[in-house]
Chains A and B, each alone.
Chain A
Amino acid sequence: MGESIKTDVVIVGAGPAALFAVFELGLLDIKAHLVDVLPRAGGQCAELYPEKPIYDIPGHPMITGDGIVEKLLAQIEPFHPTFHFEQMVTELEVLSTPEAPAFRVKTDAERTFECRSVIVAAGGGSFQPKKPPIEGIEAYEQKSVFYAVRKMEDFRDKNVVVVGGGDSALDWTLNLQPIAKRLTLVHRRDEFRAAPHSVKAMRDLVSAGKMELRIGQILALSGADGRLAAAQIKSAKGEVSELAVERLVPFFGLTMKLGPVAEWGLNLHENLIPVDTARFETNVPGIFAIGDINHYPGKLKLILCGFHEGALAAQKVYHYVYPEKKLVFQYTTSSTSLQKKLGVA
């Protein structure tokens, strides 16, 4: 494990609420590190509806999911937040007293942080792979069925079956084909969402007899002791055939699951974190919750509410980070000190 990173605040999640919180914290000289399981910033806006229009962001009659993320990133640029992507915050440990809180935060990529406050901006939970509802698939998970490829060596000289038609499915088809004993790509139709160049590379391998493409869907799995032996595949015409398989890698997109947030000793109300509406602090002093993940009377799951919550939470975070200082309220329009931080004065 590497050395622990010391910072003022760790933000769990990098959705819109988290991004704007960086701005509000930055104005108060508070440094933040953000962790997200996704490979990029933006949460639901980036993952679920990047190209769809949003009509209720104040001051933007219309902006797309990707558009608002891009603008937020530009807005927080002066504060140089550090992003840690493709990793999940798994542990949150309280190191100190309620008066002077301090926390240790760990991710599943072995990264450790020590900080004064934690802002949970986990939205609808962390994005996790969807599991195909094939009877008994759980028994094979992590032995024969993998929703992500972590160790390529586990696939060497095996009968590998990849399922799906998007970029993840095609990328892993191309990466695993050279080391697999035999690789089969199973997709429900002979059309692919993935980037055209990877689709072409796949089709070339199929023509060269180096891999197989099966159009159909997996009906059932068989094997013993968690080790997969075969999969039943139903073709588009309804014919069922069997395929030998030792490693199955299904790609059915992502869904949001609360995940480790439930294990941090925070009060929960139907998978949401109750907070006070003055500071958006949880039952644990020093841990805040903003955006879709929190709950209070009148809560609306709107981006603009997450922005407001971040601004108020930042005020209280300031007291934990700078206990000896007094916070003076200032406008960005007229305060030279704020403008210096923004790099415009």
Chain B
Amino acid sequence: MIKITFIDSFGEKRTVEAEEGSTVMETAIRNSIPEITAECGGACACATCHVYVDEAFLPLTGGPSPQEEDMLDFAYGTQANSRLSCQIKVTPELDGLVIRTPQRQG
């Protein structure tokens, strides 16, 4: 079983189960995680699924693709660990993943 913990901008934690092969964004939407809008439904076309990946997991998730970097230009408050959650595939290695959500998606 793969678990992901989302920590919102108020510090509240929510741990949910994720399905292998789905995305972090889909997992969030399915579990009504706040602060993720995902207007474009995962097409890497809206940047409203912006999240911060916990530093410890960065080597496992990897960084954004060039196309995702371009889209991240439209997000606010980006940091070195910023990703678009619709572009992170859930794999067994990501079990325990910790994701922080920004206060606003714009």
Contact = CB atoms under 8 A, between A and B. Distances in A.
Interface of A: 48-49, 52, 130-133, 164-166, 187-189, 191, 193, 217, 236, 252-253, 255
A165 B39 contact: no
Interface of A is mostly: loop
Interface of B is mostly: loop
Interface stretch (B24-32, B54-62, B70-78): B70-78
A191 to B, nearest CB: 7
B45 A252 contact: no
Contacts of B104: 133
A278 B19 CA distance: 42
Interface residues of B, number: 18
5 contacts: A48-B46, A49-B43, A130-B74, A189-B73, A253-B73
Contacts of B40: 48-49
Contacts of A236: 80
Contacts of A253: 47, 73-74
A132 B45 contact: no
B78 A188 contact: yes
A305 B69 CA distance: 34
Contacts of A188: 72-73, 78
Contact of A133 (B43, B45, B47, B106): B106
A132 B77 CA distance: 10
A49 B45 contact: yes
Contacts of B77: 217
A136 to B, nearest CB: 14
